[in-house]
Structure 1
Amino acid sequence: MMKEPARNLKVFGEFDVVVAGGGPSGLAAAVSAARHGARTLLVEHYGFLGGMGTAGGVTNFAGLYGLLNGEMCQMVHGVVDDLLPRIEALGGLNKPQDGMKGKIRVRSYDVSAYKCAADQLIAAANVQTLLHATAAQVLMDGDRISALVVETKSGRLAIRGSAFIDCTGDGDVAAHAGVPYVVGDGAGSGLFPTTMFRVGHVDPAPALAAIGEFEAINHFMSNAQNAFPGRYKFPREGAILRPQINASEWRANVTQLRNADGTAMSGVDAAQLSEGEMDGRRQIVDYFKFLREQVPGFENARIVDIAPQVGIRETRRLEGVYALRGEDILDSVRFEDSIGINTWPMELHANGRIDWRFPKDASRPFNELPWRMLVPREVTNLLFAGRCASMTHEGQSAARVSGGCFVMGQAAGTAAAHLGEDAVQTFSAKKLQTLLNADGVMLSV
């Protein structure tokens, strides 16, 4: 160990609400806080917003739609209703795509359009941004955070705030503030990460005819392994290969990053992250060889983009007043302090496979998300939203997707704007529900 000398920090500014992380939860939190009158700063590690949806190359919104009375419809509303039309106006939003025999629906988009639309959304709400800034530490005043410390190209800066929201996905702010957490599944592994990539110059007609359905590519993979033993090694069973708006360009979700002992790569371990990034690209090269040799329409394809970073599904899960459980997903649970709807099933990325678990009640295949999962037990001016919120490993496998993140972020931002000097632990869930309802959020069905 080495000791870092103490130093004075320049104060970047003082705000009512400081949001760290610009993914779906951070976007929703910052916009909601600003719309409710708070001077709001959004801090983001990258030079663009969107979180895993842009930096991780996810390229689709999951968990916005669910089956209600047997009909697939949008059930997550609020800030996202302003974002989607902005992406569409830029020509970057695809039609909804159904999968798993009609049990799920996603909405894919062009990454560049999402980045620009997110900028527009933030600007329209008068949210101030600080990009290329990484949460490095917090300064505490008793049980309150007095300032967030960030690393930037201008040096180390302090940001004062009345309320702070951790939307970093990794729980960086809360961890620095001393909030207890569990990494991954708590047993040395977790949901396995994926490096996303896009393939261009695809011949649309034969490609769509061959793999127009979500599961169709799996048959090609199985057939290739049987016909050419040892030639193709796939990182997991099955893949998701889907066309973008331009059907000559497809997104591929197939890689799976693991350590030598078979555990999932940790997104909060610098050495594992470094090796995982390179391993993801090695897997892409191998899989692309299979696409060109075995799948109709991909004979002349090219890799057009590899995501700027590996796609992380699970790292720190923070300890809150309540932890969303797998049973809550499977039992379609209602909560008195509901802040919105989660429509996504449990999606457990295990070693070499994906395990899907759907709610038991087919007539109500969704659950509510409680306010208490955003609230720490002790730090009084901090909330967290997104995949680092208070959930068990199984509960997080469902609510971590963008739909749930929009729900959590909007609730956190709205509450933070009305918090004042009160403690988050005593903030009225009923008051929050009234505010969210007025903003068009679907709280319960």
Structure 2
Amino acid sequence: MSAKTIEEPARRVPIYGEYEVAVLGGGPAGIAAAIAAARAGRRTILVERYGFLGGMGTAAGVTNFCGLHANVHGAMHRVVQGVASELLARIDRLGGLNAPHLVLGKILAQAYDTAAYKIAADELLAAHKVQILFHALGAGVVMDGESRIRALLVETKAGRQAVCADIFIDCSGDGDLAAWAGAPFELGDGEGHMLYPSMMFRLNGIDPERAGEAWRTIPQAMEAAVARGTHKFPRKGAIVRPQRHAVEWRVNFTQLARDDGAAINGVDPDDLTRGEIDGRRQALEAFAFLRTVPGFENSYIIDLPPQLGIRETRRLVGAYQLSGEDVLTCASFGDSIGVNGWPMEVHASGDVIFKFPPIPESRGFNELPYRMLLPGKIDNLLVAGRCASMTHEGQSAARVSGACFAMGEAAGLAASLALSGNTLVREIAVEKLQQALRREGAFIGRDQAVPQGL
């Protein structure tokens, strides 16, 4: 990018509205945060850059909930409850939810239809009287001193506007709001290396009878094609699985890198541009290969999503950073606000590496401490979702939708408690937050019985 600058004239920015809680980002964390705050009686707004909710789950075409379940001593349980349960029930009523399926023989994931997800999320936020502002791109903040945010600045078709609130929750995925406010963060593993992004896509026209359990044979077919020298793939471990209707399959096959081999940087506009174009090229090449698979001969691409699937960019350096060791040892925390049952999933150069806690010896989930939602310098900010306070290794596990739902719900309730007590978010009584989460049906670990069923 050019180092040249221009002077922007000072201007008066109209205030869009004034709220008790403002949430930036409408993915799983943002959905749960906004609902939890509004359900607690707070005037709440959710600001989203697209015209729909779901985050990477819809905008990047992930179409699959990971981390809702845990392998608890060899038995599967859905350990993320609360707001997530309400959303899943609505998706299911719309006919858009698959039964959970086994991944790597060790953990469950659950596919969904993106249209059903979007509609269910709209309905759920409306039911809880959350105000939504779509097509609003966060652009900066106005501060009251160094430690308090006065307003979130957004760019809309009506121009720049300001959203004022008492408490802000950053669920942007990229830690945008926290970074603008001056909260400390890390980018990647300390050496600039981040989890590699992917361009997801979906196919229709598959013959389910002939395809069978093709997800088991496609990796071997890829290895054989590489050995023959007929194909070269950007990564190992392609994931190709059916959606609710077996003629439609989702494809997670690609890996996007810069010219130097490092992962595309999801907060660099030039990298993002390159990644989007290269992602579509890789998707087309993957599609050409998949048409050689039995049952896929007459398939066609029905969806290339609105954006590249970003796994990691900025991560908050908060009061505690969840680590890879915490994931693998199923760590407990006195200030737990939810749990994560997903393993470490490291998207490294050319590969995807999973690391699980011991199975079936372990309980299969780590607790998530409230401290990972707390930036050190900003008094009226919480951060939830994949940009919360985690190490590079810890984030590879707890970035997925299950943990994001849990963090978001806790952040929304914490904001309400801070407002009730006229206190800072870092000074609320965590015991009251834990009690409120339990009352709303969330599972936080600790002394609770593990939820039954899937």
TM-score by length of 2: 0.95
- 1:189 Cα deviation after fit: 1.6
Q: Secondary structure at the match of 1:54?
A: helix
Deviations 1:40-87 (A, max 9, x none): 000000000000000010001000011224321111010011101110
- Equivalent residue for 2:398? 399
Aligned length: 438
Alignment equivalent of 2:311, drawn from 280, 305, 313: 313
Q: Secondary structure at the match of 2:418?
A: coil
- Superposed, 1:214-363 pairs within 5 Å as 216-227=217-228, 229=229, 231-293=230-292, 295-360=293-358, 362-363=361-362
Which whole-Å CA distance do the structure 1 matches of 2:327 and 2:244 have between them? 32
- Equivalent residue for 1:418? 417
Q: Read off the aligned partner of 1:34 and give its amino acid letter.
A: A
- Equivalent residue for 2:451? none
Which whole-Å CA distance do the structure 2 matches of 1:440 and 1:159 have between them? 31
Deviations 1:252-301 (A, max 9, x none): 001000001110000000000000000001101111111112x1001111
- 1:99 Cα deviation after fit: 1.5
Alignment equivalent of 1:80, drawn from 80, 84, 98: 84
Alignment equivalent of 1:140, drawn from 122, 143, 146: 143
Deviations 1:353-375 (A, max 9, x none): 01111114633121000000000
Which whole-Å CA distance do the structure 1 matches of 2:231 and 2:130 have between them? 49
* Structure 1 unaligned spans of 5+: none
- 1:250 Cα deviation after fit: 0.5
Which whole-Å CA distance do the structure 2 matches of 1:235 and 1:225 have between them? 11
- Superposed, 1:8-23 pairs within 5 Å as 8-23=12-27
Which whole-Å CA distance do the structure 1 matches of 2:393 and 2:72 have between them? 23
- Equivalent residue for 1:62? 66
Q: Is the 8 A contact 2:196 2:264 kept in 1?
A: yes
- Equivalent residue for 1:122? 125
Which whole-Å CA distance do the structure 1 matches of 2:64 and 2:151 have between them? 34
Which whole-Å CA distance do the structure 2 matches of 1:359 and 1:238 have between them? 20
Q: Is the 8 A contact 2:184 2:376 kept in 1?
A: no
- Equivalent residue for 1:427? 428
Deviations 1:181-236 (A, max 9, x none): 11122212210000000011011111124x154xx320111122223x1x311110
Which whole-Å CA distance do the structure 1 matches of 2:7 and 2:29 have between them? 35
Q: Read off the aligned partner of 1:442 and give its amino acid letter.
A: F
Alignment equivalent of 2:108, drawn from 81, 85, 105: 105
Which whole-Å CA distance do the structure 1 matches of 2:41 and 2:33 have between them? 13
Which whole-Å CA distance do the structure 1 matches of 2:348 and 2:406 have between them? 26
Deviates more, 1:420-429 or 1:1-10: 420-429
Which whole-Å CA distance do the structure 2 matches of 1:427 and 1:6 have between them? 38
Q: Read off the aligned partner of 1:140 and give its amino acid letter.
A: M
* Structure 2 unaligned spans of 5+: 449-454
Q: Secondary structure at the match of 1:418?
A: helix
Q: Is the 8 A contact 1:15 1:40 kept in 2?
A: yes
Q: Read off the aligned partner of 1:324 and give its amino acid letter.
A: L
TM-score by length of 1: 0.97
Q: Is the 8 A contact 2:182 2:377 kept in 1?
A: no
Q: Is the 8 A contact 1:232 1:286 kept in 2?
A: no
Q: Secondary structure at the match of 2:394?
A: helix
- Equivalent residue for 2:54? 50
Q: Read off the aligned partner of 1:28 and give its amino acid letter.
A: A
- 1:10 Cα deviation after fit: 0.5
Q: Is the 8 A contact 2:330 2:362 kept in 1?
A: no
Q: Secondary structure at the match of 1:419?
A: helix
Deviates more, 1:416-425 or 1:22-31: 416-425
Q: Is the 8 A contact 2:205 2:300 kept in 1?
A: yes
Which whole-Å CA distance do the structure 2 matches of 1:226 and 1:311 have between them? 29
Which whole-Å CA distance do the structure 1 matches of 2:318 and 2:288 have between them? 45
| Aligned: 1:36 with 2:40 | yes
Q: Read off the aligned partner of 2:129 and give its amino acid letter.
A: N
- 1:424 Cα deviation after fit: 1.3
Which whole-Å CA distance do the structure 2 matches of 1:267 and 1:212 have between them? 29
Q: Is the 8 A contact 1:189 1:265 kept in 2?
A: no
| Aligned: 1:203 with 2:207 | yes
Which whole-Å CA distance do the structure 1 matches of 2:192 and 2:127 have between them? 43
Which whole-Å CA distance do the structure 1 matches of 2:113 and 2:334 have between them? 37
Q: Read off the aligned partner of 2:427 and give its amino acid letter.
A: T
| Aligned: 1:154 with 2:158 | yes
Q: Secondary structure at the match of 2:382?
A: strand
Q: Is the 8 A contact 2:194 2:263 kept in 1?
A: yes
Which whole-Å CA distance do the structure 1 matches of 2:150 and 2:227 have between them? 61
**Once superposed, what is the RMSD of the aligned Cα atoms?**
1.0
